[in-house]
Every structure is written in C-alpha cells, then in structure tokens.
Amino acid sequence: MARQTILNKTMNNEMPNNEIIASDISTEDYNTICNKVLDYILSFTNEDETTQKNFILKREHTNRVTGYSEVLSRNLGIEQDDVLTAQLIALMHDIGRFNQLEQYNTFNDSQSEDHAQMALDIIREKRWINNLPDHVQEYIIKAIYYHNKLFVPKNENEKTVLHSRIIRDADKIDILDIAIKEYQKKPGDRNDKFTLELEEKPQTTKNIVKAVINGKLPDKKNLKTVNDFKLMQMAYVYDINYKKTFSIINQKQYLKQLFDSLPKNDDVFEAYRKTKIHVENQLI
C-alpha cells in the first residue's frame, strides 16, 4: 500500500493552516508525525509471501481504522484538535504489530508481548510525538495502551476516555470486517495469524459462551477454538461506545454473518439473540 493511500485518509477535511495556528496540533507537526510513522510501517517487508501478506493486512487495517476514527470523531462533533489526535492514535495504535510479527511470527499477545505496550515502546524510542503538548501526548499514549484492554479505567480524565473509546470502536469495526471476510474462506485458506493460531474445531468453550450470554466481553486469554473467537467478536457489541458504531455494525450485518459461520446449537442461538437485542436497543 502506498504512503499516499493512508495520507489521503488522515488528511481528509483538514483545516487550513491559518485556522489552527493556536491549536495543540499544528499542520506541520501532524504531517511530520504521519510521514515518520508511514515510513516506519512501509519499512516492513519480507520475502516470505505469508509474512508479507500479514504486513499488508496490518497496513490496510491501520488505514481503515484511521478512516473510521475520523468518521466517529466528526460524528461526535468534537474539536478539530481532537479529530487529529484521534487520527494519530489510529495511525499508531497497531504499530507494535509489525515488530511483533517480524520477531515472534504471531499476532497472539499471549504467545509474544502485549502489542499495545510494544507500540508505546516504539513511539517513545522514535520520539514521534515529542513536539506535541504534554496533555496531547498523554491522550495518545493512554488511548493506545487501553485500545486492546478489557476496559478503560473509570478514573481516567475525560479526554483520555474519549480517545480510548474512539479507537476501541474504530478498531472493532474493522476487525469485524476482516473477520467476516476470513470466515467466508475455507478453513484451510484462512489466515491463521488473524485467528491467533486457534484450533479449527466445532466446539465452543463454556466460559466463553457464558460470558457472551451474560452480556460480557470474554477474556481473549480463555479462547481455545476459532468458534470461541467468533463468539468473542459477537460480544464486541457489549464494548461499543457510540451510536454511530452500532449503526455501522447493524448496517453491515456483522452479527448475522458471524452467526451464520457458527455451528447451530442452543448456546450459539442464545449468544446471537442476546447480542442482536443489545444492538437493537442501542439504536432505539
């Protein structure tokens, strides 16, 4: 994917220079960070076809999540500084995935390292955001750290919570989209890095099913099969923050498509029913 593909997304609807002179994020700083991050992303290439496909997968994921972050931010009507901050968070949220794949040959944090922490280590080492005000750096660092955790602490400041919620929603939209495309493939053709090298078995794990039926997001550490992963992705709806996100999920029929890819039994029917009702209630 060329650099301009992401830049077109991240620079969409940017305000003119003379309108953001007093802003926390100048156009110059924003462009500089984007260019440096994109240079880093595009530096990852591999002669192994499977590894290269996964680098491209993460580049394209970054691109789309950046776009979704802008859509959600503008839908919320937040200030331009916060829109740009949300886009920078999205651009860097998975920056640790590239080194994770190269070093460990996996996207499974439990078999390697927490990819959010890896991202923060890279951001600090590269000093990409050091010219930004301290409070903006804090929002970026904390939102990236929280983007893959089970929850965002309630005692965080308002802006940290805002940006954590935006990236969590944007990330989940695209993960669901990738998931649907993967599950439409034959099992032998699927990307086992995306499905965390989980077993292709018809079984589902009881505590995963129980969590989904009880309206909770299961802990990724408890996943044993690809079907568990599908149920966890169904349960993403319990961790969605904005009506716009629910609208996108409903419009694209992600839950129905996940349900269609699962074995049909009472547990799966009940999990689907509970998650579907939850989405419908949020759209009333």
Q: Can you give the CATH number for the domain in which 18 is found?
A: 1.10.3210
Tokens 């110059």, residue located: 28
Alpha-carbon distance of 56 to 50, in angstroms, equals 10
Last residue of a domain, one of 154, 172, 190: 172
Q: Are residues 207 and 160 in the same domain?
A: no
- CB-based burial label for 153 (10 Å; 0-12, 13-18, 19+): exposed
Q: Does some domain include residue 53?
A: yes
pLDDT band at 188 (very low <50, low <70, confident <90, very high): confident
Q: Does some domain include residue 167?
A: yes
Q: Does some domain include residue 182?
A: no
Q: Does some domain include residue 180?
A: no
Residue 8: the pLDDT is 46
Q: Does some domain include residue 183?
A: no
pLDDT band at 14 (very low <50, low <70, confident <90, very high): very low
Q: Are residues 250 and 154 in the same domain?
A: no
Q: Give backbone dihedrals phi and psi of 70, rounded to 5 degrees, phi first.
A: -65, -45
Q: Does some domain include residue 117?
A: yes
Q: Are residues 126 and 221 in the same domain?
A: no
Q: Are residues 92 and 215 in the same domain?
A: no
187 pLDDT higher than 90: no
Q: Are residues 10 and 151 in the same domain?
A: yes
Cβ proximity of 131 and 110 under 8 Å: no
Alpha-carbon distance of 163 to 41, in angstroms, equals 22
Alpha-carbon distance of 243 to 229, in angstroms, equals 24
Question: Domains in the chain: how many in total?
Answer: 2
11 pLDDT higher than 90: no
Q: How far is CA 74 from CA 34, 77, 80, 148, 240, in A?
A: 19, 5, 9, 23, 17
Residue 147: the pLDDT is 98
Which domain covers residue 109, as residue numbers? Answer: 3-172
226 pLDDT higher than 80: yes
Q: Are residues 92 and 210 in the same domain?
A: no
Q: Are residues 133 and 242 in the same domain?
A: no
pLDDT band at 23 (very low <50, low <70, confident <90, very high): confident
Q: Are residues 107 and 231 in the same domain?
A: no
Last residue of a domain, one of 135, 156, 172: 172
Alpha-carbon distance of 267 to 29, in angstroms, equals 51
Q: Are residues 25 and 128 in the same domain?
A: yes
Say what the pTM is: 0.91
Q: Are residues 36 and 132 in the same domain?
A: yes
Q: Are residues 221 and 157 in the same domain?
A: no
Instruction: For residues 25-49, give the mean pLDDT.
Output: 97
Question: Helix 49-76 to helix 27-42 angle, to the nearest 10 degrees?
Answer: 160
Least confident of 13-22, 143-152, 184-193, 226-235: 13-22
Mean pLDDT (the chain, rounded) = 92
Q: Which residues pair with 199 in a beta bridge?
A: 225
- Quick one: which of 245, 250, 208 has its CA closest to 226? 208
pLDDT band at 19 (very low <50, low <70, confident <90, very high): very low
Q: Does some domain include residue 68?
A: yes
Q: Does some domain include residue 177?
A: no
Q: Are residues 158 and 261 in the same domain?
A: no
Residue 5: the pLDDT is 44
Q: How far is CA 271 from CA 121, 125, 219, 230, in A?
A: 38, 43, 16, 11
Residue 72: the pLDDT is 98
CB atoms within 10 A of CB 185: 10
